[in-house]
Every structure is written in C-alpha cells, then in structure tokens.
Chains A and B, each alone.
Chain A
Amino acid sequence: MKVLVPVKRVVDANVKVRVKSDQSDVETANLKMALNPFCEIAVEEAVRLKEAGIATEVVVVTVGNKSAQEQLRTSMALGADRGIQVETDAALEPLSIAKLLKAVQDKEQAGLIILGKQSIDGDNNQTGQMLAALMDAPQATFASEVKVEGDKLTVTREVDGGLQTLSMPLPAVVTADLRLNEPRYAKLPDIMKAKRKPLDVLTVEELGVTLKSHQKVLKVTPPAAREAGVMLDSVEALVEKLKNEAKVI
C-alpha cells in the first residue's frame, strides 16, 4: 500500500510573527521556516507504517515554490521515499490545495493519505477534509491512533470531551493530531541520503486544475493588546482584587 503525505512549509513554530506596517499580511521575509509540526507527525506515522511492513512506499507532496523542496527533503530524511513539488508562487487557499492534491492522488492512487490536521500559519484545519470530500472518501480527522488491517482502517480521534474510534475502508484520509506520535530526529546519514531521493516537480497546468480565488484578505492587524496587569505579593491581595476590583468572585 502506498501512503501519500501532503506537507507544508511554514514559519517555524518558535518564531513570533509580526504584522506588516501596511497591514497587507504578516512579515515572513527572513524568518526561520520549517516543516509544519502536524505535517511532521503525519510523515512520521507514514514512515512507521512502512517500518511495520504495512506501507510499501511513502510519497510526500507539497504545493509551493522551489523553497518548499527543503521541507520535502526534511520529510525524506525522516524516511519518506520520494517527493513531489507542485510548483506555484501563489498563496493558495485550502480548497485550491485540496484540488491539486486530488489531482496528485488521481495519479498516485495511494491507499492512505495522511496530513497534519492544520498548518500553524493559516490555522484553517480544512485541507484534509476537503480532499476527502473531493475524493468521496471516508475521513478520520484529529487522529491519535491509526491501525491498518487489510483494507480496513481504524482510527482513534481526539474529539471535544474525549476520544472517538471509527473504522472505515481504504482509501481514506487521516489528519494527524499532536498525540499520534512523537516524530524522530533525522540522523545525518539520513539527511545525506534524502538529497539523492527522487523529487518530481509538477505544474498546476500539468495537473489540469483551474484555480480560483474565493476570498480576499482586506487587512491583517495585530490582536488587541491586553493592558499590563499588576503583580501582587500575597494570596490575600489576589482574593481582595478578584472580589472588589475585578468582581469576578
């Protein structure tokens, strides 16, 4: 069984972004970029399925410009077998990404698609679900455990209030939550080996997808700042403030 893992290049999780002064977007120039943490978990899960003898090949795919090849190489250093970059300079909406991924899946015919549940830049949490809809395939979002037996997939999901377990036939789409696994660190020999793994570049035209803009970002602003609070020196002072000043207890 082939596993397809769509991944995204994002601003590193430890970097605090700032809004541009013209309010057009956040400033991303010269910031440290990384593989989206949820995508890293998705890659790790696919690689573990291969190590367990369930998956035969792990293919990573990304949509973006040439710099996103860096994240494909990172994914291959973690154990993915080959990469596909869908070349575009446009900042695409989740629906457009899902359409491109659907076109890639039509070529690849993977039995299982694992994605991160959301990217930490747009925080949309949409692409996996949209891809599943376009494929008319079952989906298991926010996965914390994935089991494949034959052509049956059983997934435990993190839902509000606890855990839910679903089973479904393959092919299916899974989105990874934080507790699905703890990704490994790539070892130097694996990083070197990843540089020689195959990486194909496809264009939007080759995939036969017509893209359309559905949204317009009018402005991006910093969030309302909280006013500086006060430091108190005792629990008594805290209780007094909560009772008499904030009036919340």
Chain B
Amino acid sequence: MTILVIAEHDNASLKPETAKVINAASQIGGDIHLLVAGSDCAAVAEEAKTLSGVAKVLLADNAVYSAHLAQNLSKLVVEVAGDYSHILAPASSQGKDLLPRVAALLDVAQLSDVVEVVDADTFVRPVYAGNAMATVQSLDDKKVMTVRPSAFDAAGNDGAAELVAVGSVHEASTEFVSQALTESERPELGSAGVIISGGRGMGSGENFELLEALADKMGAAVGASRAAVDAGFVPNDLQVGQTGKIVAPELYIAVGISGAIQHLAGMKDSKVIVAINKDPDAPIFQVADYGLTADLFEAVPALTKLI
C-alpha cells in the first residue's frame, strides 16, 4: 500500500497544510510519496524531502503547472496515480478544486474534508455544516480524499526522501490572468495558534483595527464571520465558517459574533473558545469555554492592554 499526497505550495515554499496531510497519510499506513507539481519549484521539493514519513518526492516542474490549474494538473495526477492505494490533498481551495476532477477521471468517488482515519478504507467526515459526522467506508480500489488540515497535527521534518522527476506535459485551455492575494504580516488563518474573529457587532471595517491591535500583540490571525464579510467590513478570505476557512487554533476569540451554525462549523474544534458579545443569549456562548457579556468596544481595548 502506497499513498500519494499532493503538496500544496506557491512554487516558492511549501504550505503548512501539506505536513498535516502527511500526518493523516501516516495514520492510514504504508509508504508515502509526495507530488510537488509546479513551475520553478525545485526549492519546494527540497523542503518537501525533509517531511517525516515521506519516502519519495515526485517533482513535476514545468511552466504549464505554474498556476496549479485543475484542468491539466488533474491529468498529471492521473498519469502519476498508477498503483497508489490512496490519493490525498489538503481540503484547501486548491485541493477542493483539483481532487474531484482527479476522482472523476479515475472513475472513483472522492471523500471531502476527512477529519479522522478509522482504518485504510474507513474515514470520518462532517456533513450538514458539522452538525453530524459520517463514518464512510470507501468501496473503491483507489481512495481519493481531501483532508481537513485543522484536524491533524503537522508531521515533523526529520525526513530524507529521495527525489524523482515525474510526469509529462499536459496543456490546459485555461489561462491564468491575475491573482490578488491579501498581504498580511499576521499568520495565516489555517496555521495560526490564536485567531481573533469579528462579526456583525464590529459595526464597520474600521473597527476591525481594534481586533488587529489585539492580534498583533498576541501574534494572532484575524478572522471574520460571514455576516461581517457580507456587510463589507473585511474581505472574504478572512471568513471562518462552513463555506469559508475551517480552523482549530489553540485559542479562538469571537468578538461580536452571534454564533450562527455556519460559523460554528468553522471554529468549534478550537481548543479554547472565548466569546465576547453584548447579547447574553447569543448562541456563541453555548460553545465558548469562557464567555464575557460586554461591550466589545470597551472589552477589546482593555484585553489588549492586559495581555
């Protein structure tokens, strides 16, 4: 049994999600090979070689893979797929874009957002925004799945994998036009140890500066509820929830967030949850370890001062 993991990277460095998927793969058991597909991404492959548990790094380095387009990347993965028993990728926007396409080409099903490995055929995944957990047995000879990174710890980096060049050139009719990524000094939501999120109660985008001041003091990431995103306070890539980022940091501080089930789906696996809301009946308090009924415009600056 050998497992193929698709590495997530930006052609310059490996994303932290990859190490978490490697850990999920180790729990399935068997050899692990890691596919690094991209353009001018030899540095990523070097980094990938050190991930604990990876026996082989497969490098497909070609300009056609620079934007990681699902259209041709899926064909590359199918070409490489050969005898692998499992194909895994993080449940990131890239993994979710790519893997269903791979599964369809292989004529197998795909499991989305795996949060627990029961055995080599059986996995647990959330449905209905995490209001139910389904234990699903795959009947396919090749199991294709996206893995929810927040559900697994990262693999270490004491490995020394062998590097092999693989794959032929698959062209895509899709063209990459541009990318506008949010520049931030703060950690990414997916890997932050502490996340401070604001909701509709923040009142405006400017008021998020209160959260940013606290975040900078704590080395935290800033997130938001869908209500705050829909109100135009902050961009969508900050959204935590069923359809946004799924996170599980050590500490999650929800400020002015009522706690709709769609938001809870994205953060309820956090180790410690703090809720600050002026409405004592807000559902967020039902999942919070520590609740504070207070005006956030007083409580947040006070917290920033004390921490």
Residues of A within 8 A of B (CB): 11, 13, 16-17, 19, 26, 38, 93-95, 98, 117-118, 120-134, 138-142, 144, 154, 157-169, 177-179, 213-223, 226, 228-236, 238-239, 241-242, 246, 248-249
Q: Which of A26, A93, A215, A234 counts the most chain B CB atoms within 10 A? A: A215
Contact of A130 among B93, B103, B172 (CB under 8 A): B103
Given known A-B contacts A158-B93, A166-B174, A214 and B109 have beta carbons under 8 A apart: yes
18 A–B pairs (Cβ distance < 8 Å), ordered by A: A26-B127, A26-B128, A95-B103, A138-B172, A160-B188, A160-B237, A161-B182, A165-B179, A166-B67, A179-B236, A214-B109, A223-B130, A223-B268, A226-B268, A228-B286, A232-B290, A246-B290, A249-B307
Chain A hits for B194, CB < 8 A? 248-249
Q: How far is the CB of A133 from chain B (nearest CB, A)?
A: 4
Are B236 and A229 in contact (CB-based, < 8 A)?
Answer: no
Whole-angstrom distance between the alpha carbons of A121 and B307 in the complex? 41
Are B292 and A162 in contact (CB-based, < 8 A)?
Answer: no
Are B307 and A94 in contact (CB-based, < 8 A)?
Answer: no
Are B74 and A133 in contact (CB-based, < 8 A)?
Answer: yes
Are B112 and A238 in contact (CB-based, < 8 A)?
Answer: no
Q: How far is the CB of A75 from chain B (nearest CB, A)?
A: 20
Chain B hits for A219, CB < 8 A? 134-135
Q: How far is the CB of A111 from chain B (nearest CB, A)?
A: 15
Q: Which of A95, A144, A154, A179 counts the most chain B CB atoms within 10 A? A: A95
Answer whether residue B126 sits at the interface, using C-beta atoms and an 8 A cutoff: yes
The 6 closest A-B pairs by CB, nearest first: A214-B109, A129-B100, A162-B181, A126-B100, A133-B104, A130-B104
Chain A hits for B81, CB < 8 A? none
Contact of B271 among A138, A163, A239, A248 (CB under 8 A): A248
Chain A hits for B96, CB < 8 A? 125, 129, 141
Contact of A126 among B103, B181, B236 (CB under 8 A): B103
Are B133 and A229 in contact (CB-based, < 8 A)?
Answer: no
Are A159 and B93 in contact (CB-based, < 8 A)?
Answer: yes
Whole-angstrom distance between the alpha carbons of A130 and B130 in the complex? 23
Chain B hits for A160, CB < 8 A? 92-94, 188, 190, 237, 245
Answer whether residue B273 sits at the interface, using C-beta atoms and an 8 A cutoff: yes
Are A229 and B237 in contact (CB-based, < 8 A)?
Answer: no
Contact of B137 among A215, A222, A236, A246 (CB under 8 A): A215
Are B236 and A95 in contact (CB-based, < 8 A)?
Answer: no
Are B110 and A126 in contact (CB-based, < 8 A)?
Answer: yes
Q: Which of A223, A228, A246 counts the most chain B CB atoms within 10 A? A: A223
Contact with A along B95-135 (1 / 0, CB 8 A): 01111111111011111110000000010001111111111
Given known A-B contacts A239-B303, A248-B194, A220 and B134 have beta carbons under 8 A apart: yes
Q: How far is the CB of A214 from chain B (nearest CB, A)?
A: 3
Whole-angstrom distance between the alpha carbons of A249 and B217 in the complex? 11
Known: A222-B133, A229-B287, A231-B285. 5 other contacts (CB 8 A): A98-B104, A123-B128, A141-B70, A219-B134, A226-B287
The number of residue pairs between A and B whose CB atoms lie closer than 8 Å in the complex comes to 254
Are A178 and B307 in contact (CB-based, < 8 A)?
Answer: no
Are A123 and B126 in contact (CB-based, < 8 A)?
Answer: yes
Chain A hits for B127, CB < 8 A? 26, 121-123, 220
Contact with A along B276-291 (1 / 0, CB 8 A): 0000100001111111
Q: How far is the CB of B230 from chain A (nearest CB, A)?
A: 8
Given known A-B contacts A120-B128, A215-B138, A162 and B306 have beta carbons under 8 A apart: no
Chain A hits for B243, CB < 8 A? 38, 117-118, 177-178
Are B174 and A144 in contact (CB-based, < 8 A)?
Answer: no
Whole-angstrom distance between the alpha carbons of A216 and B138 in the complex? 6
Are B113 and A132 in contact (CB-based, < 8 A)?
Answer: no
Q: Which of B138, B175, B243 counts the most chain A CB atoms within 10 A? A: B243
- Segment 19-41 of B: residues with Cβ below 8 Å from A: none
Whole-angstrom distance between the alpha carbons of A160 and B238 in the complex? 9
Whole-angstrom distance between the alpha carbons of A159 and B274 in the complex? 28
Q: How far is the CB of A192 from chain B (nearest CB, A)?
A: 31
Whole-angstrom distance between the alpha carbons of A13 and B226 in the complex? 14
Contact with A along B184-198 (1 / 0, CB 8 A): 000010100010000
Chain A hits for B236, CB < 8 A? 144, 158, 177-179
Q: How far is the CB of A120 from chain B (nearest CB, A)?
A: 7
Whole-angstrom distance between the alpha carbons of A133 and B106 in the complex? 10
Are A169 and B306 in contact (CB-based, < 8 A)?
Answer: no
Are A161 and B292 in contact (CB-based, < 8 A)?
Answer: no
